[in-house]
């Protein structure tokens, strides 16, 4: 009923080693939700893979500053676009009305060994 490669992929993403157990859970949930079980399998694979990507992307950089965590994407984008530490700090102040010092941004970038994009 299921494609074995998709079952293996889902079991790996869910950290379940028993493939039969994964199939049984999928069938029960599909019956409960009244949907096709292969459709449910595909949706689970998409959800778990996106969660894994998000987790690995956020796990890479370390900082304790809550504003840097919240606006990390914008800081990294600006840094890769060629902005300096002071200009990134001022852009956060103008766009989001938050104060993050130049030295905090510099410490975040240097401690995580972030390089400029070309």
Over its length of 118 residues, how does the chain's per-residue pLDDT go in tens digits?
A: 577 888 888 788 778 888 888 888 888 888 888 888 788 888 888 888 777 776 666 657 888 899 998 999 899 999 999 999 999 999 999 999 999 999 999 999 999 888 886 5
Rounded Cα distance, 115 and 97, in Å: 26
| pTM recorded for the entire structure | 0.52
Give domain limits for the chain. Answer: 4-59, 66-111
Please report the pLDDT score of residue 101 as a whole number. 95
**Cα dihedral angle (93, 73, 46, 53), rounded to 10 degrees?**
-140
Rounded Cα distance, 50 and 96, in Å: 28
CA triple 67-72-73, angle to 5 deg: 140
Please report the pLDDT score of residue 99 as a whole number. 95
Please report the pLDDT score of residue 52 as a whole number. 74
- Alpha-carbon dihedral sign for residues 24, 50, 42, 33: positive
């Amino acid at each position: 009923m299921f494609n074995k490669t998709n079952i293996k992929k889902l079991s790996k993403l869910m950290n379940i080693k028993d493939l039969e157990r994964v199939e049984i859970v999928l069938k029960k949930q599909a019956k409960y939700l009244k949907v096709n079980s292969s459709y449910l399998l595909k949706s689970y694979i998409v959800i778990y893979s996106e969660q894994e990507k998000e987790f690995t992307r956020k796990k890479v950089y370390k900082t304790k500053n809550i504003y840097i965590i919240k606006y990390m994407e914008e800081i990294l984008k600006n840094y890769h676009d060629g902005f300096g530490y002071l200009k990134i700090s001022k852009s956060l102040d103008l766009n989001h009305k938050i104060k993050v010092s130049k030295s905090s941004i510099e410490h975040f970038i240097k401690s995580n060994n972030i390089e400029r994009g070309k």
